[in-house]
Chain A
């Protein structure tokens, strides 16, 4: 059997991602972020660009589902879709607004290694007037494509932080998922 035929028969995602592949993905993210920050565009345009980057490189449905936590189980499919979209907008605005902190800074991609069944890519962020700090990306191909699903900034990770925040927002709305969705869209 030829290698090509064998490759065709093997389920594509298994073993598709390598440490090098994970590292390349983070290299591409860093390059895209730097390009957006350097471009002479308005804050609103930049936030739209950040949303594109977030969708292109991260596994948004998985991140959104984790952030919603146990309540994701009782959400209808329509609610899940609407929540995922609203969450994507909310995250892009929340983190995109702070792009100024990164002006003049750089992120150095260090190394990637396999942990459990995904990859960890460590980077060092050098921001103006701050000592360098560690930013780690976790990359997986279990969504069917190579995407990152969590970011750690000096140990503080996005999944847990957003689960706490979304959980508190949901509590404030007495568990009303529809109210949460419409409010997420309106947070600027």
Chain B
């Protein structure tokens, strides 16, 4: 949506409202259609296991992603961390993360997580004012950390099933639910509607740079998974699913909802995640 529309006169403002309502209706219909397509494991399969019916396609995408990483992302990431001084690198990622916060707040609210929404809003205001527009992160010094979330988590909170595991071209490991979440999150950040261009692209640029920085900084760890393991596809799938389920099950936002509702039960409810699979159970021969 272009900025001039927001300042348009009342008549066309009314038209805009109707337009927005139509757009919303279309989006909701489209979303529910996409979500109903989220595949669910058959009756014989554990909901906490690995559900990967598109393995062949996923493996092709994995090879594509590896080739892309080897030829482009890895060298660029390493170059970025090597040539950009650490303080500037930190500023770029603080800036990107600060600009993404309004979108996170929208998701906090959609999940009914008022505490998280308040904390993130406060963090955004604090860092924007006292952190030079978000280039610095003084809020963290005061323990006001980001309550991380995204639309994939919103869908989880709304009860949408995880769906199949997918490895997306360029974007990497995901699930059907999280893939839908990523698409929707392109539109959840209110700043992208308020900021004029080119300013609204600064955030996107900073986010990309920050991702490159991560690739460079965690180069050894990522290389171990992508290039040193016997089956990098299976390794990436395993690590992604464990980490994603852990974050959905046990982060702050869900703890805020009802602290007396066995806050520890959740992350271990998943049998695959029966992370506490008992290695001693096997030993009774």
- Name A's B-contacting residues (CB within 8 A): 62-63, 65-66, 72-73, 94, 97-98, 101, 113, 115-116, 118, 129, 131, 138, 140, 142, 149-150, 152, 154-157, 159-161, 164-165, 168-169, 171-172
Residue on B nearest A140 in the bound complex, by CB: B280
Write the nearest CB–CB distance from A136 to chain B, whole angstroms: 9
11 other A-B residue contacts (CB within 8 Å) besides A140-B280, A156-B246, A159-B279: A98-B221, A101-B220, A149-B279, A149-B280, A150-B275, A155-B267, A157-B275, A159-B277, A160-B275, A164-B234, A168-B229
Q: With an 8 A cutoff between CB atoms, is B141 at the interface?
A: no
- The answer to whether A161 touches B235, judged by C-beta atoms less than 8 angstroms apart, is yes
Q: Can you list 11 A-B pairs with a CB-CB distance of less than 8 A?
A: A63-B279, A65-B283, A66-B279, A98-B224, A116-B278, A140-B280, A150-B275, A164-B234, A165-B235, A171-B231, A172-B231
Q: With an 8 A cutoff between CB atoms, is B69 at the interface?
A: no
Bound-state Cα–Cα, A171 to B235, Å: 14
Write the nearest CB–CB distance from A140 to chain B, whole angstroms: 7
- Name B's A-contacting residues (CB within 8 A): 86, 90, 140, 145-146, 217, 220-221, 224, 229-231, 234-235, 238-239, 242-243, 245-247, 250, 264, 267-268, 273, 275-280, 282-283, 285
**A72 / chain B contacts, CB cutoff of 8 Å:** 282
* Contact A62 to B235, CB < 8 A, known contacts A97-B220, A168-B230: no
- The answer to whether B235 touches A98, judged by C-beta atoms less than 8 angstroms apart, is no
Bound-state Cα–Cα, A26 to B229, Å: 29
**B221 / chain A contacts, CB cutoff of 8 Å:** 98, 101
* Contact A62 to B230, CB < 8 A, known contacts A129-B90, A160-B242: no
**A140 / chain B contacts, CB cutoff of 8 Å:** 280
Bound-state Cα–Cα, A165 to B278, Å: 19
**A115 / chain B contacts, CB cutoff of 8 Å:** 268, 276
* Contact A129 to B86, CB < 8 A, known contacts A156-B239, A161-B238, A165-B230: yes
Which 4 pairs across A and B sit closest by C-beta, in order of nearness?
A155-B246, A168-B231, A168-B230, A66-B279
* Contact A62 to B275, CB < 8 A, known contacts A97-B220, A160-B242, A161-B239: no
Bound-state Cα–Cα, A131 to B224, Å: 22
**A171 / chain B contacts, CB cutoff of 8 Å:** 230-231
**A101 / chain B contacts, CB cutoff of 8 Å:** 220-221
Write the nearest CB–CB distance from A124 to chain B, whole angstroms: 12
* Contact A155 to B243, CB < 8 A, known contacts A129-B90, A164-B238: yes
Bound-state Cα–Cα, A98 to B217, Å: 12
- The answer to whether A131 touches B145, judged by C-beta atoms less than 8 angstroms apart, is yes
Which interface residue of B220, B238, B285 has the most chain A CB atoms within 10 A?
Answer: B238
**B268 / chain A contacts, CB cutoff of 8 Å:** 115
Write the nearest CB–CB distance from A92 to chain B, whole angstroms: 14
Q: Which of B234, B243, B278 is close to A168, meaning CB atoms less than 8 Å apart?
A: B234
Which interface residue of B86, B234, B239 has the most chain A CB atoms within 10 A?
Answer: B239
Bound-state Cα–Cα, A142 to B283, Å: 11
- The answer to whether A157 touches B242, judged by C-beta atoms less than 8 angstroms apart, is yes
**B145 / chain A contacts, CB cutoff of 8 Å:** 131
Bound-state Cα–Cα, A101 to B273, Å: 26
**A73 / chain B contacts, CB cutoff of 8 Å:** 285
Which interface residue of B230, B242, B273, B277 has the most chain A CB atoms within 10 A?
Answer: B230
* Contact A168 to B235, CB < 8 A, known contacts A98-B220, A129-B90: yes
Bound-state Cα–Cα, A164 to B232, Å: 10
Residue on B nearest A130 in the bound complex, by CB: B217
**A63 / chain B contacts, CB cutoff of 8 Å:** 279
* Contact A155 to B247, CB < 8 A, known contacts A97-B220, A129-B217, A164-B238: yes
- The answer to whether A152 touches B275, judged by C-beta atoms less than 8 angstroms apart, is yes
- The answer to whether B276 touches A138, judged by C-beta atoms less than 8 angstroms apart, is yes
- The answer to whether A66 touches B229, judged by C-beta atoms less than 8 angstroms apart, is no
- The answer to whether A154 touches B243, judged by C-beta atoms less than 8 angstroms apart, is yes
Bound-state Cα–Cα, A138 to B279, Å: 11
Residue on B nearest A132 in the bound complex, by CB: B145
Write the nearest CB–CB distance from A119 to chain B, whole angstroms: 11
* Contact A62 to B283, CB < 8 A, known contacts A116-B276, A164-B238, A165-B229: yes
